[in-house]
Amino acid sequence: MRIAIAGDYFVERSQCVPVISESLIDLFKDCKAVLLNFEGPIAEKPFFRRAFKTGPNIRQNPNSLSYLKNCGVTAIGLANNHCFDFGESGVSETLSLATDAALGIYGLVRDGENHPYVVSEDSINVSVLGYAEEEWCGSGNLEPKIALDDLVDICRDIKRCALVSDAVVVVLHGNAEYCKVPSPMLQKRARFIIESGASAVVIHHSHVIAGIETWCSRPIFYGLGNFQFTMKSPSLDWYEGLVALLDFSRDEFGNVKVKADYVPVVRDADTHAVDMASGCLRNHIVNEVCGLSLCLSSSSSIDAQFKEYCKSVENSYFQMLNPFYGQSRLFRVVGYLFVSFYFMRRNRQAMLLNTLRCSSHRETLRCLLTESIDYEIKS
Backbone torsions φ then ψ of 137, nearest 5 degrees: -100, 15
**Would you say 209 and 262 are in contact if contact means Cβ atoms under 8 Å apart?**
no
Name residue 364's amino acid.
T
pLDDT score for 344? 67
Query: What digits encode the pLDDT tens for the residues 197-216?
Result: 999 999 999 999 999 999 99
Residue pLDDT, tens place only, 256-265: 999 999 999 9
Distances (CA, A) of 369 to 142, 364, 374: 19, 9, 8
Q: Quick one: DSSP state of residue 116? A: P
pLDDT, tens only, 339-364: 676 666 788 788 888 999 999 999 99
Give pTM, 2 decimals. 0.94
pLDDT grade for 19, boundaries at 50, 70 and 90: very high
Which residue ranges form the domains of the chain, and what is each CATH number?
A: 2-306 (3.60.21.10), 316-378 (no CATH)
pLDDT at 234: 93
User: Residue 318: its pLDDT value, please?
Assistant: 77
| Residue 197 Ramachandran class (φ > 0 left, ψ -120 to 50 alpha, else beta) | left
Average pLDDT, stretch 164-190?
Answer: 97
> For the chain, what is the mean pLDDT?
92
Residue 255: is its pLDDT beyond 70? yes
CA-CA-CA-CA dihedral for 335, 336, 337, 342, to nearest 10: 90
How many Å apart are CA 88 and CA 60, to the nearest integer? 15
Residue 375 has pLDDT above 80, yes or no: no
DSSP line for 216-249 = TTEEEE--BBEEEE-S--S-GGGGEEEEEEEEEE
Residue 379 predicted with pLDDT over 70: no
Considering only CA atoms, which of 152, 4, 144 is closest in space to residue 78?
Answer: 144
Q: What is the largest CA-CA distance in the chain?
A: 70
Sequence-distant (≥ 6) Cβ neighbours of residue 181 within 8 angstroms:
210, 211, 222, 292, 295, 296, 302, 305, 306, 309
| CA triple 163-257-121, angle to 5 deg | 70
DSSP-assigned beta bridge partners for residue 259: 247
Residues in Cβ contact with 198 at an 8 Å cutoff, skipping those fewer than 6 apart = 158, 168, 169, 170, 218
CA 93 vs CA 69, 85, 104, 139: distances in Å: 17, 13, 15, 19
Is residue 139 very low, low, confident or very high in pLDDT (cuts 50, 70, 90)?
A: low
Q: Are strands 33-38 and 2-10 parallel, antiparallel or unpaired?
A: parallel
Query: What pLDDT score was predicted for residue 284?
Result: 97
Characterize the bridge pairing of strands 2-10 and 240-250. antiparallel
Evaluate whether 158 touches 198 at the Cβ level (below 8 Å): yes
21 within 8 A of 276, measured Cβ to Cβ: yes
What's the mean pLDDT in 129-150? Answer: 86
pLDDT tops 80 at residue 331: no
Q: Which residues of 86-123 are buried (b: 16+ CB within 10 A; e: fewer)?
A: bbebbbebbbebbeebebbbbbbbeeeebbbbbbeeee
pLDDT band, residue 376 (cuts 50/70/90): low
